[in-house]
Amino acid sequence: MPASLPTTIFLDRDGVINEKAPEGDYVKTWGEFRFLPGALEAIKALAGVAPRLLVVSNQRGIAQGVMSEQDLLDIHENMLSEIRRTGGRIDSIYHCPHEKHSCDCRKPGIGMFLTAKQEHPEIDFEKAVVVGDSLADLDAASRLSCMPVLVTTRADWPDVLEAARRRPIPDLVVASSLRAFSHGLMEDLDSA
């Protein structure tokens, strides 16, 4: 867990906050969106201790034409409404709608994070955490000197972990879910 309280927590969406669609598919509508167990509780807890909670999400389904920007906006409006209803908050959402290898914002690129820093200049990447379920999330965290947190919600997480260890990605934290990460962070705060 972080040595001190993170000032910014960047959350991936699919596989961290909500169930990830099967490989090659995307969460295209609010009807397909399912919060992962404990995600709402975790977001509420993290909102109580972190000044900023930001979502950074690759959304390639837009580039592939299986969903529109409006579809994504509808999903995010409903997601935020449910998060607020349960006492949590997300301060901003950033997404990359592009195809692979066509931009600098798609993770592992850091464009979304740099946009967040422009909008929230107080972000200090060295005091930030990136919580994700993929090697792209961990690589982006490493490039920014953020603490990387791998949540093991994917079936192939052992492969992701092994690839991360071969990089190596320093200070890697592994948690079974966003809820487990938030509980560990709260325990660290209580014992400090």
Terminal-to-terminal C-alpha distance of the chain: 12
pLDDT at 192: 56
Beta-bridged to residue 18, according to DSSP, are 14, 35
Domain ranges of the chain: 8-191
Fold of the 8-191 domain: Rossmann fold (3.40.50)
What's the pTM value of the predicted model, to 2 decimals?
0.94
Inter-residue contact 79 to 17 (CB < 8 Å): yes
Can 124 be counted among the known catalytic residues? no
Among residues 12, 133, 137, 139, which one is catalytic?
12
Which amino acid appears at position 48 of this protein?
G
Q: In a structure prediction context, what are the per-residue pLDDT tens digits for the chain, which is 192 residues long? A: 555 789 999 999 999 999 999 988 999 999 999 999 999 999 999 999 999 999 999 999 999 999 999 999 999 999 999 999 999 999 999 999 999 999 999 999 999 999 999 999 999 999 999 999 999 999 999 999 999 999 998 888 888 888 888 887 878 999 999 999 999 988 876 665
Residues 87 and 103: their CA atoms lie apart, in Å, by 35
Can 12 be counted among the known catalytic residues? yes
